[in-house]
Amino acid sequence: MSTATATTLLTAEEFFVWANHPERGGTQYELEAGEIIEMPSPGEIHALVCWYVIELLSAYLRLRGEGAVLTNDGGQLLQRNPDTVRGPDIAVYPMDRSLEDAVPGPTERRPSLIVEVRSPSDRDGRILRRVRQYLDAGVLMVWVVDPEDRNVVVYEPDRFPDVRASSELLDGSRALPDFSCPVTDLFIMPKLRTSYRG
Compute the average pLDDT of residues 78-99.
91
For the chain, give the percent of residues with pLDDT over 70: 94
Assign 3-state DSSP to the chain and report helix, strand, coil percentages, each to 5.
25, 25, 45
Report which listed range, 6-15, 77-86, 133-142, is most confident.
133-142
| pLDDT tens-digit series, residues 164-173 | 999 999 999 9
pLDDT for position 39: 85
pLDDT, greater one: 195 or 86: 86
Peptide bond into 82 cis (omega under 30): yes
Instruction: Report the Cα 171 to chain-centroid distance in Å.
Output: 17
pLDDT for position 5: 44
CA 49/CA 3 separation, integer angstroms:
29
CA 126/CA 59 separation, integer angstroms:
30
Strands 35-39 and 151-155: unpaired
pLDDT for position 61: 95
Compute the average pLDDT of residues 46-63.
94
Q: Which CATH superfamily is domain 41-192 in?
A: tt1808, chain A (3.90.1570.10)
Is the pLDDT at 96 greater than 90? The verdict is no
pLDDT for position 73: 74
User: Which helix (H) or strand (E) element contains residue 92?
Assistant: strand 90-93
Give the end-to-end CA distance of the chain in Å, rounded to a whole number.
40
| pLDDT tens-digit series, residues 162-195 | 999 999 999 999 999 999 999 999 999 888 887 7
Q: Which residues pair with 82 in a beta bridge?
A: none
pLDDT, greater one: 75 or 144: 144
Q: What is the DSSP string of 32-50?
A: ETTEEEEE----HHHHHHH
Given pLDDT bands bounded at 50, 70 and 90, which one contains residue 198? low
φ, ψ of residue 77 to 5 degrees: the values are: -80, 115
